[in-house]
Amino acid sequence: MPMNSGGPSPWGNPRPGGGGPWGAPPPPGGNRGPSGGGGGGGGAPDLDDLIRQAQDWVRRMIPGGGVRGGGKGLGILAAIALALWGASGFYRVQADEQGVVLRFGAFIGTTQPGLNYHLPWPIESVLTPRVTTENLVFVGFRPTDAVQTRNVSARDVIEESMMLTGDENIIDIDFVVRWRIRDAGDFLFNTRNPVDTIKWVAESVMREVIGRTPIQPALTEARGDIEDKVRAGIQAIMDQYKAGVAITQVQLQKVDPPGAVIEAFRDVQRAAADRERQRNEAEAYRNDIIPRARGEAERMVQEAQGFRDSQEARAKGEAQRFTQVLSAYQQAKDVTLQRLYLETMEEILRRNPKLLVDDRLQGMVPFLNLGDPPRPNPNPQRPSLTPGGAGAPALAPPASRPGMPR
């Protein structure tokens, strides 16, 4: 290590005459040790020289130099150091974080996202856990893939997944609990291990809910109800613990019978599905045939009632007409008799074929067809009368009917 030759002494005084550490120049050329260092040092570094170089560096850093100037510079350095120490208390909390302020390691409060200040270290310190990140707790299985989704290969944990249902059947349930930090201070200091606490509470609540639910609803339509009840139960217990967490969702991943009996159980389910299908078909047929029969019965009842009303109305009308005729007969017998005769003959003649014969016709005898009713003439151009005109009834000559009077 080179010696300081002629420079100022470590205490700020000039060195009189010399160059060595004690003011005298080293002997020319020699007493060097085996390692090439200055006389008798044995190759070890000179401690006095190191101290002197450090003092020189401090004097160069302090403006003004000397003892008085050094005191002023130390004050400036102390002020700068104090300002930097005070400025170290500023910290920023991100939008997805919450600040937790500790004073000598004890929790004193939380801060919201943004620029905040705390007393510098070692008086106060800050933790900034993320409170918007959704965390997962797996119960009954452990995922083996890096991405934790619903369809991942998993390792089953039998001691967590096997549960007893309300009808004393065994069921295998795997589920996921999604949670996030609601209060960072409570989360960090009220529970020793919040994640394990959530897992244990979730398993306990799930066993309680499944213990009150039969196996068939648990496998089919009651899954959503089970998830809601378990989520509410976990949240209630964690609130009692003041754990500072919010349970956002419980998702059932697998709800099956044990593997040893799953095929037999599926056969039972298929039989139950067939029974339900046949029942639905029977109900559909019943819902189709019964309204139709009811409608037919109602139609028949309405028709009978209509016939009854019509008959009653007709009978009442006939009776009223007879009463009116009787009243008219009692008032004018001759006129009424004549009218009754004419109406009766009109009715008879309307319903029977008529034959008109001119009484001035001589030598002809009417031929009355008393058998079948007269048939229409197939040839309208040829008249069907021998002596008469068209449209008149056929007449036979007197010679053809000798037994008839003329």
**Across residues 61-76, what is the average pLDDT?**
60
Beta bridge partners of 110: 100
Tell whether omega for the bond before 387 is within 30 degrees of 0, i.e. cis.
no
For residue 175, count other CB atoms closer than 10 A to its CB: 23
Question: pLDDT tens digit string along 238-251?
Answer: 999 988 899 999 99
Q: Which band of pLDDT confidence, cut at 50, 70 and 90, is reported for residue 16?
A: very low
Chain centroid, CA 79 distance in Å: 63
- By DSSP bridging, strand 154-156 and strand 365-366 are unpaired
Q: What percentage of the chain reaches a pLDDT higher than 70?
A: 68
- Quote the pLDDT of residue 379: 52
Mean pLDDT (the chain, rounded): 74
- Quote the pLDDT of residue 169: 86
Question: pLDDT tens digit string along 24-58?
Answer: 444 444 444 433 444 444 455 677 787 777 777 76
Question: pLDDT tens digit string along 139-192?
Answer: 988 887 644 444 555 788 888 888 988 888 888 899 999 999 888 888 888 888
**Across residues 271-281, what is the average pLDDT?**
91
Question: pLDDT tens digit string along 110-121?
Answer: 777 777 777 777
Cα(185)–Cα(345) distance, integer angstroms: 118
**Across residues 87-101, what is the average pLDDT?**
72
Can you give the pTM of this predicted structure? 0.47
Lowest pLDDT segment from 311-320, 333-342, 371-380? 371-380
**Across residues 292-296, what is the average pLDDT?**
92
pLDDT at 86 over 80: no
Q: Which band of pLDDT confidence, cut at 50, 70 and 90, is reported for residue 261?
A: confident
Cα(304)–Cα(139) distance, integer angstroms: 72
- Quote the pLDDT of residue 270: 87
- What does residue 102 show for φ and ψ, rounded to 5 degrees? -115, 135
- Quote the pLDDT of residue 41: 43
**Residues making up the chain, counted from first to last:** 406
CB 28 within 8 A of CB 20: no
- Quote the pLDDT of residue 28: 43
Distances (CA, A) of 49 to 3, 6, 226, 357, 374: 7, 14, 81, 177, 165
